[in-house]
Amino acid sequence: MISKSVLKYNINHEGEQWHVVYTYTRHEKRVAEELLNKGYEVYLPLVNRIRRYERKIKRYEVPLINNYVFVKILKEHYINILNTLGVIKFLKNSGKISVIPQFEIDYLKLITGEIQNVEAQLLNNENLAGKEVMITEGPLFGLKGRVLEKSNNNTLIVTLENVGYALKFEVDTRIIKFTDKLKL
């Protein structure tokens, strides 16, 4: 059974790169498990959710980004990945299979492990209006993003451009530095 942020480290092969496979709806955990069984390094960021019923409270984990599973592979493994039950396709950008930089995977790991109430939303430029900032201390030191003003709270938007999503979470304004010269 898959639990909290599935991640398996294999022997690192030269030339392996992170990619996103797009899965059928609600097949992310199953696909991650299949890929792990095939021996691939897989990352599925999961977040905790709580559902309150009349007589009980149920806690469960859901993928941070629906239909996405991250897999680190060599180019020659594309066909084997596509033949995995539940996989639809690789995420593409301009007709080419997207390569996800290691730092974006590291940001996802940091965010899902250290911050509560993270939510993923599809990236669009309207959500990124505001000042550029960098976190200056703590476990997310060096993370860059943009600030949204929302009900008197600063909400930092961390842009994962290669994934096509932005992660939104609240951050203490005392540990961010405003600058317009940062490159995201």
Q: Domain-by-domain residue ranges, the chain?
A: 6-100, 119-178
Q: How far apart are CA 177 and CA 184, in angstroms?
A: 14
For the segment 125-145, the average pLDDT, to the nearest whole number, is 74
**pTM of the predicted structure, to 2 decimals:** 0.77
The domain 119-178 having CATH identifier 3.30.420: the answer here is no
- At 5 the pLDDT is 54
pLDDT greater than 50 at residue 184: no
- At 169 the pLDDT is 77
pLDDT greater than 90 at residue 182: no
For the segment 63-75, the average pLDDT, to the nearest whole number, is 95
CA angle 35, 99, 86 (to 5 degrees): 30
The SS3 of residue 172 is coil
Q: Which two tokens stand for residue 102?
A: 């290691």
- At 81 the pLDDT is 97
pLDDT greater than 80 at residue 44: yes
Q: Say which amino acid occupies 84.
A: T
- At 7 the pLDDT is 53
The domain 6-100 having CATH identifier 2.130.10.10: the answer here is no
Q: How far is CA 25 from the centre of its chain?
A: 17
More confidently predicted of 36 and 13: 36
Q: How far apart are CA 45 and CA 55, in angstroms?
A: 30
